[in-house]
Amino acid sequence: MTARIGVVTFPGSLDDRDSERAIRLAGAEPVSLWHKDKDLKQVDAVVLCGGFSYGDYLRAGAIARFSPVMDSVIEQAKAGLPVLGICNGFQILTEAHLLPGGMLGNNHRHFICRDQKLRVENAGTAWTADYTAGQEIHIPLKNMDGRYVADRRTLDELEAEGRVVFRYLDFNPNGSLNDIAGISNAAGNVVGLMPHPEHAVEPLIGTGRTDGLPFFTSILKKLVNA
């Protein structure tokens, strides 16, 4: 039976088609989910894709957090459903309190778009098992509000519990504390990151590498072996 991975589209989503393509390349079936629908269509995992949900008119992800679909995502994520939030999806996960901390504007106050070097810090989550801890990868990054912030206690907990999943290398592009590029919840089923792995799944696009594909093969293997 083919694993089914839902991709949520909000008004302003930009990368839903790209996420669906990455899922298909990994061997799973992408399922389109609309922000106004609470029905997750019995998917096995969910991706909150990148973009500018609701135009980011309040705070990035703040309005999307109250979309009807998020009631179901929050409920099922707490019950163990794997959820990946990419860029704006990461922002939505913090606003929904599925991940701690929050996102602020880049410290240089400019939109940034570049190929970004990352280090994999945690290969034990549902979305990173096909990586190895310490592995260095290149993933495209594009954001205006990508600066991850949290209080000192939260940062210490994330570090002590191994919940920093990715860290920026060589260059911190947005001023994120502790060079954090991505984190997970305590259970490891919810992961958020600012760079875009769906843009690094084929050699002809993005970085010209396939460093992002293991996100999608990792979750497929977990679902198949569950």
Catalytic residue check, 196: yes
- In sequence order, what E strands does 43-189 have? 45-48, 83-86, 102-104, 112-120, 136-143, 147-149, 164-168, 180-184
Catalytic residue check, 87: yes
Q: What angle do CA 173, 84, 152 make, to 5 degrees?
A: 55
User: Rounded to whole angstroms, how far apart are CA atoms 132 and 126?
Assistant: 13
Q: What is the DSSP letter of 171?
A: -
Annotated active-site residue in 49, 87, 138, 199: 87
Catalytic residue check, 49: no
| Alpha helices, DSSP H, located in the chain | 16-26, 68-78, 88-95, 152-160, 213-225
Annotated active-site residue in 20, 138, 198, 199: 198
Q: 136-139 long-range contacts, Cβ below 8 Å, gap at least 24?
A: 136/169, 137/200, 137/209, 137/211, 137/212, 138/200, 138/207, 138/209, 138/211, 139/115, 139/195, 139/196, 139/197, 139/199, 139/200, 139/206, 139/207, 139/211, 139/212
* 204: phi then psi, degrees, rounded to nearest 5: -90, -5
Q: Supply the residues annotated as catalytic.
A: 87, 196, 198
